[in-house]
């Protein structure tokens, strides 16, 4: 187990980091296809920094919500979010290169994708209990969480984080 700050990459340059890809060919609603790269973490203090890259063509990441407080910086391209509110209404968010956002912990569930030309975002997350995300199935009926430690262990094992 790691007990201190660990840097995985010396750069946030998309051409210099190690990327992992995740695809879900079974999702019928939209194309889930994204890359991610771990930059650094502090398991003891519930912190994780990473890059998320959407390929061209409005590729999505999985249905989720951030449990951790999250800083987002759009490095390249665009990021689109569709937040799903408790009353069923939706809030649409569009971020462009250079945009910065800071979201409180326990955010609304959302769908997230890049633009036609893709997008790359930097995420810095901090969670008191170490839980970063809650993922949802296609109907949003079943969910599971992923912690910093889960994320780091999957990275070290060469597997994809957040898989059931």
Note whether residue 123 is domain-resident. Answer: yes
Note whether residue 152 is domain-resident. Answer: yes
**Helices (H) then strands (E): counts for the chain:** 1, 11
* Cβ pair 133, 145 in contact under 8 A: yes
Note whether residue 13 is domain-resident. Answer: no
Task: Look at the chain and report how many structural domains it folds into.
Answer: 1
Angstrom distance (rounded) from CA 66 to CA 63: 10
- Check: pTM over 0.85? Answer yes or no: yes
- Report the relative pairing of strands 47-54 and 69-84 from DSSP bridges: unpaired
Give the length of the chain.
Answer: 164
Angstrom distance (rounded) from CA 158 to CA 150: 12
74, 109, 142 from 78: Cα distances, Å: 7, 19, 29
Note whether residue 163 is domain-resident. Answer: no
Note whether residue 10 is domain-resident. Answer: no
Find the Cα–Cα–Cα–Cα dihedral 51, 74, 62, 138, rounded to 10°. Answer: 170
- In this predicted structure, the answer to whether residue 2 has a pLDDT above a threshold of 50 is no
* pLDDT at residue 64, rounded to an integer: 87
Write the pLDDT tens digit of every residue in 86-112: 888 999 999 999 999 999 888 888 889
Note whether residue 54 is domain-resident. Answer: yes
Note whether residue 23 is domain-resident. Answer: no
CATH number for the domain spanning 96: value is 2.60.120.10
* Cβ pair 78, 94 in contact under 8 A: yes
Print the domain residue range for 145. Answer: 28-157
Note whether residue 65 is domain-resident. Answer: yes
* pLDDT at residue 62, rounded to an integer: 82
């Amino acid at each position: 187990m790691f007990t201190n700050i660990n840097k995985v990459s010396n750069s946030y340059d998309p051409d210099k980091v190690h990327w992992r890809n995740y695809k879900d060919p079974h999702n019928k609603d939209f194309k889930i296809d994204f890359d991610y790269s771990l930059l650094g973490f502090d398991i003891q203090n519930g912190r994780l920094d990473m890059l998320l890259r959407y390929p061209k063509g409005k590729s999505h990441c999985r249905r989720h919500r951030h449990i951790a407080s999250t800083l987002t910086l759009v490095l390249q391209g665009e990021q689109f979010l569709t937040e799903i509110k408790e009353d069923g209404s939706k809030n649409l968010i569009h971020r462009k290169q250079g945009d910065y956002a800071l979201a409180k912990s326990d955010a609304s569930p959302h769908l997230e994708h890049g633009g036609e030309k893709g997008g790359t975002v930097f995420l810095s997350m901090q969670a008191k209990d170490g839980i970063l995300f809650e993922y949802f199935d296609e109907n949003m009926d079943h969910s599971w969480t992923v912690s910093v430690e889960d994320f780091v262990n999957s990275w070290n094992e060469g597997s994809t984080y957040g898989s059931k």
